[in-house]
Amino acid sequence: MADRRLMGRSIIVTGGSSGIGRASARLFAAEGALVVVADLDELGGKETCAAITSAGGEAVFARVDVTQEDSVAAMVELAVNTFGGLHGAFNNAGVAEAPARFEDTALETWHRILAIDLTGVFLCMKHELRHMAKNGGGAIVNTSSVAGHSGAPGRVGYSAAKHGVLGLTKLAAREYARRGVRVNAVSPGLIDTPALRGSLDAAGFDALAERTAPGRIARPEEVAQVAAWLLSDGATYVSGETVVVDHGALAR
């Protein structure tokens, strides 16, 4: 049974249609949060909401394009109007490009990845921070990646964007500390998501898992647990930090 550490809090989860976002939305709701499941994928997002409500939780879907400021502003407004405020946000939406050498990366690809993975986080934070700072504070968690620390070979835009997310996180944590808002990040390593499974056959997935320290790839729920803690009162003196969820891969 969940410990209900997020009871009554209105929380936005972007990228909530699958993977880490879906697992997080479901966990937050199980812990008492009122969840806005936000995504471009309407079918997947509504499936997440249905899973939450069928388990006795509360959730509403917001179709959002995180690269468009009007769309992001409407998402925050929906959270406030539906649940009476905004207390937390997990800015998790993101994509990765197909692997390519640095010199072969198309400018169009670069712009697309940064628009979603970095500008999208900036726009979400801008509107979330504005509301939280005026209404008693809150907590924000952004999804970076181990690629935001060491780089991901073959993924130039993704690596740059995820480094940028860490910079935004630190800056906002300092700027909003006395306005009641905490801002942190999670940096997942290999996570068992539909995106990862879709990029490998079964043998490739098993071989990848075998190369990890524990011999397995992390579940999305293991990242969700970290995000839930960072959003909760258990982390009230934690801000500007990044929790790496990779079972020590970066340490090696």
pLDDT digits (tens, 9 = 90+) for 124-162: 999 999 999 999 999 999 999 999 999 989 999 999 999
Residue type, 122: F
Q: Which residue has the higher pLDDT, 184 or 196?
A: 184
156: CATH: 3.40.50.720
pLDDT-above-70 percentage for the chain: 97
pLDDT tier, 49 (very low <50, low <70, confident <90, very high otherwise): very high
Q: For residue 73, count CB atoms less than 10 angstroms from its CB and return exposed for 0-12, middle for 13-18, buried for 19 or more.
A: middle
Within a domain: residue 22? Answer: yes
Residues 6+ apart with CB under 8 A from 160: 110, 114, 118
- The whole-number average pLDDT for the span 116-121 is 98
pLDDT tier, 249 (very low <50, low <70, confident <90, very high otherwise): confident
Within a domain: residue 150? Answer: yes
- The whole-number average pLDDT for the span 73-83 is 98
Distance CA 241, CA 181 (A): 13
By C-alpha distance, which of 164, 159, 67, 162 is closest to 112? 67
Within a domain: residue 250? Answer: no
Q: What pTM does this model have?
A: 0.94
E strand intervals along the chain: 10-14, 34-39, 58-63, 88-91, 138-143, 181-188, 242-245
pLDDT tops 90 at residue 115 = yes
Number of domains the chain contains: 1
Within a domain: residue 2? Answer: no
Catalogue the active-site residues: 158
Within a domain: residue 17? Answer: yes
Please give the pLDDT value at position 192.
Answer: 84
pLDDT tops 50 at residue 1 = no
Within a domain: residue 224? Answer: yes
Within a domain: residue 252? Answer: no
Boundaries of domain holding 160? 10-245
Within a domain: residue 4? Answer: no
